[in-house]
Structure 1
């Protein structure tokens, strides 16, 4: 998958995006996904933090390298962490560092009209950018929580403006998170680049989920928009319990596991 194919997916086929943070899971996801996002969500599901805000650029580069190693043919996107793109020059410097130290194909930036000038600066300097609007986790403290967007006509109008500004700035796609379905429909129809939904209904051009949510490994809470395709935490606990019992009872290792 390349950027041209991603752009051409609009109105042709749905894009499949999933997060990954390491080589092991990236390898498992590579064949079934069009893009792999190294999301700053790793700060919560991988590092156990309460939000994404303390993720660092070094963390993101480390995990992006691991994902690129595990899925060398995948279109990998590095999520730029909070504070790494506060102005055009710093954003470009940090994105160049991501490009020089990893094989990432693109970066992701949160923000709409307010970040369009930064996105334009990046795309003008050969950095491929995926936008992110709607509910934006990096805005959680300034907005007073994780708030669903698109509940009013005015907010839908702003989301459409945000999407158009990001498209005009040269982004190749947009993540649209935590919005009412009608808002998602209007945003998706308003732009010519693919809109990837997460908590935005089935009217977008594709879907993205955090792997530990969809596979049931993150159990602290389940967002409304998540469907668990596997009860991973439960399966792991059951397997570890069996291992412990077999060790205690002298069943493992058996003759089959001996040299």
Structure 2
């Protein structure tokens, strides 16, 4: 598996070959999976690209057919798929099973598996063990882990071991208990400088990209201009190299209030509810199953 080397070096020449010349990440129809080398090439040519979360094979196949180049099997599954109140309870078993399903449902997208809370905080060796499981058992092309300077040693060992890493700084949801909620990060000069230090630390450790979550747009823009690896924004303004949303938020399936940064592109909760009620009414009224739905 290829990766972007630390300290600004070009990607190595091993693995799946060079990026397909002239092929855009979004909407392309390449004959192989997107790799981190393609992500690096997109940064060089100034191409913006989308990323969505996915948690099952069928949904992932829809996004893959739509041309989404990168999918994150995020620990956000805890909130929107498994019924937890936060991402903290998500386990390696859950991430591994769902990541494998997403890999099976896709052909082109780079699949990134999240390392959940408690799977890498002990240190680099634990992080390597957890990441290796996701690569071997689920077949992901990269992993993501939260933390800036504090996670640099974990990232460095994973990259040296051949596992591409997407970092995650700013608001890190696994730290919800320490934050006391989900506050905007990087406000004020000191906090903004710490965010920049975190982003540079993960870049120097070898991360091929870094998620910036819930930070002021101006700060995210400065970080993006300061790095040679792409930034992936979520609540981080328009200047990031890429943007990611939780798919249930994006498609209007999430109930209740969604974060300010979310734009809903459909209303699937209403659509599914209408379909369920129509089915129920047909059953109760005897309209379903009709003759054309029956065997004789």
Normalising by structure 2, we get a TM-score of 0.86
Find the counterpart in structure 1 of residue 201 from structure 2.
Answer: 165
Q: String of CA shifts for 1:202-225, please: whole Å, max 9, x gaps.
A: 110010000111111111321101
| 2:119–2:126 contact (8 Å) kept in structure 1 | yes
Q: Which of 52, 62, 70 does residue 28 from structure 1 map onto?
A: 62
Q: String of CA shifts for 1:129-162, please: whole Å, max 9, x gaps.
A: 0000001101111122111012111111111111
| 2:69–2:108 contact (8 Å) kept in structure 1 | no
Q: Which moved more, 1:75-84 or 1:31-40?
A: 31-40
Task: State the Cα distance separating 1:186 from its structure 2 match.
Answer: 0.7
Whether 2:225 is the aligned partner of 1:189: answer: yes
Q: Which of 18, 22, 25 does residue 52 from structure 2 map onto?
A: 18
Q: Superposition pairs for residues 1-259 of structure 1, below 5 Å?
A: 1-10=34-43, 11-31=45-65, 32-86=67-121, 87-259=123-295
Task: State the Cα distance separating 1:180 from its structure 2 match.
Answer: 0.6
Consecutive unaligned residues of structure 1, counting only runs of 5 or more, are none
Q: How many residues align?
A: 259
Consecutive unaligned residues of structure 2, counting only runs of 5 or more, are 1-33
- RMSD of aligned alpha carbons: 1.0
Find the aligned partners of 2:134 and 2:206 in 1 and give their Cα distance. 19
Task: State the Cα distance separating 1:252 from its structure 2 match.
Answer: 1.3
Q: Hey, which bits of structure 1, 4+ residues long, moved more than 2 A?
A: none
Find the aligned partners of 1:145 and 1:183 in 2 and give their Cα distance. 21
Report SS of the residue matched to 1:142: helix
